[in-house]
Amino acid sequence: MKRHSLKFPLPLAILGGLALMFSWPATAAVARPNIVFILADDLGYGDIGCYGNKDIRTPDLDKLATQGVRFSQFYSNGPECTPTRTAFLTGRYQQRVGGMECALGVGNVGRYDDAIRLREKNEMGLPASEVTISRLLKDAGYATAIIGKWHLGYEPKFFPKEHGFDYWFGVIGGNADYFRHTEQDGLNALYLNGQPVKREGYMTDLITEEAVKYVERAKGNPFFLYVAYTAPHAPIQGPNDRREQALTGSERNQGDKRTYHTMIERMDDGIGRILHALEANGRAQNSLVVFTSDNGGTKLARNEPLRGTKGTTFEGGIRVPCLVRWPGVLPAGVTTDLVGITMDLTASFARVGGARLPEGRTFDGVDILSEVSGKGGPTRTLFWRGRRGENTWKAVREGPLKYVMEIKGDQRQEYFFDVQSDSAEKMNLLSARPDDLTRLKTLLADWEVAVRPRR
């Protein structure tokens, strides 16, 4: 059965020329590309123009979509930020690491039992023993940098340099003030190569400026640049919203849609500047650029037509925009309904970068870019689980079918959908397809055993 289709908004007369772009080049025949991975924070599925938004101006992302491939069924690995970032770096389900199924609390607070256990042992973060894409690419000869949000551990033993990043600038935690660069505890969260640093400016702009400078000074070897914007995550602060007094805890999560829109527009402008820097420095033609979000949007976001928001495993909590551009290799102006997930990008980056996994190590993700290019790939089932306190969200998707479970203490609610025909998840098929329901529940239970952490 065909797994995906490609939609070309182009006249038939020129489609034949695009067919040549589907043939994957032999590794020896082309130079390894620079890899630029841009991650938004809490961006809703429909928050940018090329995904249907008419209220937020995102010309640079929209242009990126016309230059590459737009995914309509791409998922984040988790319904919150830390889990997805863990999965991206490792290329595996975040559950295998332990303690990373929920966003780390300010100051490295664990928010569910396994995370609390690890925090008590000072082991709350992404261990340096994990095999990460940054380390693999560094070992393969890439220069490596992360600019933006880390949120994978507050202690130095979990810092980016321990995971193969040569250069690191950004915030250590999850919700830094955009102007003061402090978290809710008032402590500075901004770091440069592992040391606290003070900078003036709006956080989105600082991330953009550092990324542009990195591209401008890049020489020789190909580079892997991970740009992790904090926008549009709370606190909801636009570029002109600096206040004399620091925001309180409750104020950080308040805001209006107009301010939220300006945050996204400023990020879009920054992405445009990064893409321009690639072009101006002769790097664009041999650069693979990927843009996506770490999870679905909050209540301020436009997740339409999807159900749910960040923190849930309904489509609105985990289905995210994803744009991929690689000139001369991937087709331009194409929309694909191929189902993908964050950790698939990791497997793709490893292959195109010539990186090799240690013996006995495998990715849970698949090389999604080979599938887009027409080489096909294995049919597989996707799983999610997010935990916070006594609440747990689970989901499994197999083909068009999706099972969702919400647990609140002793209460549980179950749902069963055909998300191919019902992306809004309006029709609960729980009692209509008992055999399919049983199969998916069994798959989910088996997966939970398979990804049990070992630390």
Which amino acids are annotated catalytic? 81, 151
Question: Is 14 within 8 Å of 332 (Cβ atoms)?
Answer: no
Query: Which segments within 342-410 are labelled E, that is strand?
Result: 382-388, 391-398, 401-408
CA distance 212 to 402: 41
CA distance 435 to 288: 43
CA distance 363 to 382: 13
Q: Which H/E stretch holds residue 347?
A: helix 342-352
What are the counts of helices (DSSP H) followed by strands (DSSP E) for the chain?
12, 16
Backbone angles phi, psi at 336, to 5 degrees: -120, 145
| 158: Cβ contacts below 8 Å, ≥ 6 apart | 125, 126, 127, 128, 152
Quote the distance between the C-alpha of residue 258 and its chain's center. 24
Could you write out the DSSP letters of every residue in 364-377? SS--HHHIIIII--
Fill in the amino acid letter for 447: W
Please enumerate, as own/partner, the contacts of 123-127 that have beta carbons within 8 Å and a separation of 24 or more.
123/99, 123/455, 124/99, 124/153, 124/154, 124/155, 125/152, 125/153, 125/154, 125/155, 125/157, 125/158, 126/86, 126/89, 126/90, 126/97, 126/100, 126/152, 126/153, 126/158, 126/163, 127/97, 127/158, 127/455
Question: Is 101 within 8 Å of 384 (Cβ atoms)?
Answer: no
